[in-house]
Amino acid sequence: MENTIGTRGREFVGTVINAKMQKTVTVEWPRTIYIPKYERYLTKRTRVKAHNPESINAKVGDQVRIMECRKLSKTKSFIIIEKLGVNFGYVAREGDLKAGVVARSEKPKEHPKTEAEE
């Protein structure tokens, strides 16, 4: 018989960004906040540790639904309740970063030569 962990409270959908710990993953999701002084929006991200049950076994790049539960350790108070699929945008971005590919908008611009340099 498997021990079940009761859930309560908030529920979020995020992407697994780290799965190197035993039965624990780090889940991240973006959120938008409004800054009244500048009358603009800012995108921030939230990262939490979540319990990864062996029955779900989420990997890096998976999109998951997590829900709050009792405190499982010092930093872990969420549990994965469902794996929704793969977040291909995250997987592609991480693959490009590891390969050293630079996006077109991030290419360094060549400075025009001055008369002294010629």
- Alpha-carbon separation of residue 26 from 62, 88, 105 (angstroms): 11, 17, 29
The 10 Å Cβ neighbour count of residue 74 is 7
CATH number (3.40.50.920, 3.30.497.10, 3.40.309.10, 2.40.50.1000) of 7-100 reads 2.40.50.1000
Q: Parallel, antiparallel, or unpaired for β 40-51 and 76-86?
A: parallel
Tens digits of residue pLDDT in 6-42: 999 999 999 999 999 999 999 999 999 999 999 999 9
Model confidence, pTM = 0.77
Q: Where are the domains of the chain?
A: 7-100
